[in-house]
A and B are shown apart, each in its own frame.
Chain A
Amino acid sequence: MHLSPDEIIFWQYGFIKLNVTIVTTWGLMGVLVIAAKLLTRERSTVLERSRWQNLLEIIVTGINQQISEVGLQQPQKYLGFLGSLFLFIATASLFTIVPGYDPPTGSLSTTTALAICVFVAVPLFGIQDQGLAGYLKEYLKPTVIMLPFNIISELSRTLALAVRLFGNMMSGTMIIAILLTITPFIFPIALSVLGLLTGMVQAYIFSILAAVYIAAATRARQPAPE
């Protein structure tokens, strides 16, 4: 019984180790990239196109639309980062239907890594958008007194991102594992389906929160929507 897939280590050399989390992540990356490569290989620019291309277009334009709905005016600029977040977390959750699979998002290391990425990306996008001074001024708003609270908020929301995703994914896996020992029939399947739903919701929440943070960092220059 493992609390985290980090604990299963295939190979280790000093502090360098190859655990299930990393290997599963590579597997998911491979699946995503190969699927994208295969499905966009025969892409069509005319009205008639394959159903797989249609699916990919729906996914990509759907993500794009969600980003723009959050308030980011140039969604394609953030599509790479936010879309990859969503697709990675969603794929990791989707594969929970495979028996014996441990989602990498069930590891606090992975969710921390993703949260750190968001933590770094938000100021980067903010600085790119409004300049270093403009971005830093955001921490002084509405007053200078708010500076420590703003910094705490920045850190705490990163922590919240990491722990929320980890907790949800890990708990899902844990519950299924516990249920398998108690009632090996029916219930694990129902819980697995529920876990799938939770995973998808978490992928959506994680990506949307990241988008909201980025939007908050870049909004200064944007006029408030009427």
Chain B
Amino acid sequence: MLIDWFTVAAQVVNFLILVWLLKRFLYRPILNAIDAREQRIAAALADAEAKKIEAEQERTTFSQKNQSLDQERAALMSQATAEANTERLRLLDEARQESTNLRARLQESLNIEQRSLNEALARRVLDEVLAIARKALGDLAETTLEERMVEVFLRRLPALDRQAKETLAKALKTQSDPALVRSAFALSNEQCRAIQTAVNETFSAEIPLRFEIVPALISGIELTTNGQKLAWSIADYLGSLENAINDLPKTQSEPETRQGADV
């Protein structure tokens, strides 16, 4: 008989014991270890997932912040550019204005300089002309001319207007000293007498006269009394000419100044 029933029973018991022992010492510890590991892995994966989500949120936040920063920067840049352009235009305007002012001032100073140069030149020319005229007229002046002067004087004396004549008459009457007659050359006795006669006739009174020679008159004759003067001389003409020329730049400078301001 191949089957020994005691052995069969013993093997059944042995096998059941083996099942229990292996459950106790093999399957349970191993399965527990695997379960624990799976839980750890699941926890790690969940943690990683949570971290991933968090990182994603962080990334989104960062991206939004970055975007807003970019926009802000662009806005600031455009604002700064606009301000810089405005400032540039303002500075350009200022510089243009400044340059215009400087040019105007330069023009003005140039004008002034030119004017003063002109004036100096005119003065010099005038002086030269006057000096030449004086010299020429002085060279030309002689007794004959003096005679003509006296004649003219004598002709003009009676032709004086009434007011001048009255003023001069009053002065001559209130004058205690003789009236002064000045000439560039010595007058002859006839001429002296003719003058005395003309004066007496003109003012209808006996007017004492005193004759004096003054070469500075160049040529001519003048009657002076008590602050009043009746004269006809080349020196007077030249003085009038000089005054007229001196007044000339003043009348010319006004239109020039207006013209300079328009530039």
Question: Which of A3, A26, A32, A44 is within 8 Å of B22, CB to CB?
Answer: A32
- Is residue A43 within 8 Å, beta carbon to beta carbon, of the partner chain? yes
Task: Please tell me if the beta carbons of B22 and A36 are within 8 angstroms of each other in the complex.
Answer: yes
Interface residue? A29 (CB, 8 A): yes
For A6, give the chain B residue with the smallest CB separation: B4
Q: Considering the complex, give the chain B residue whose CB is closest to the CB of A40.
A: B29
**Contact present for A80 and B14 (CB under 8 Å):** no
| Band of interface residues on A | 35 or more
Interface string of B1-18 (1 = CB under 8 A from A): 011111111111011111
A36→B11 contact, CB < 8 A? no
Interface residues of A in 65-119 (CB under 8 A from B): 76, 79-81, 83-85, 87-88, 104, 107-110, 112-114, 116-117
Select A53's contact among B11, B23, B33, beta carbons within 8 Å: B33
Mask of A210-226 contacts with B, CB within 8 angstroms, 1/0? 00000000000000000
Q: Is the CB of B40 within 8 A of A46?
A: yes
Q: Which of A33, A36, A84 has the most CB of B within 10 A?
A: A84
A110-B7 in contact (CB<8A):
yes
In the complex, which of the residues B15, B33, B36 contacts A114, with contact meaning CB atoms closer than 8 Å? Answer: B15
Contact call B25/A88, Cβ cutoff below 8 A = no
- A21 proximal to B (CB < 8 A): yes
Smallest distance from the beta carbon of A2 to chain B beta carbons, Å?
11
Q: How far is the CA of A196 from the CA of B52 in the complex (A)?
A: 52
Which of B8, B9, B29 counts the most A-chain CB atoms under 10 A from its CB? B8
Contacts of A45 in B (CB 8 A): 33, 36-37, 40
Q: How far is the CA of A116 from the CA of B31 in the complex (A)?
A: 28
**CB-contact partner of B9 in A29, A33, A113, under 8 A:** A113
A61→B34 contact, CB < 8 A = yes
Task: Return the CB mask of A162-202 against B: 1 if under 8 Å, else 0.
Answer: 00001000000000000000000000000000000000000
Question: Is there contact, CB below 8 Å, between A104 and B33?
Answer: no
**What residue of chain B has the Cβ atom nearest to residue A26's Cβ?**
B14
- B21: chain A residues at CB < 8 Å are 29, 32-33, 36
CA distance A57 to B17 in the complex (A): 22
Nearest Cβ in chain B — how far from A183, in angstroms? Answer: 28
Cβ of B132 within 8 Å of any chain A Cβ, yes or no, is: no
When C-beta atoms are compared, the residue in chain B nearest to A170 turns out to be B2
- In whole angstroms, how far apart are the Cα atoms of A36 and B20 in the complex? 13
25 example contacts (A-B, Cβ-Cβ < 8 A) are as follows: A16-B6, A17-B4, A21-B7, A22-B7, A22-B10, A25-B11, A25-B14, A32-B21, A32-B22, A33-B22, A40-B25, A45-B40, A46-B37, A46-B40, A47-B37, A76-B27, A80-B19, A80-B22, A80-B23, A84-B15, A87-B22, A109-B4, A109-B11, A114-B11, A117-B15
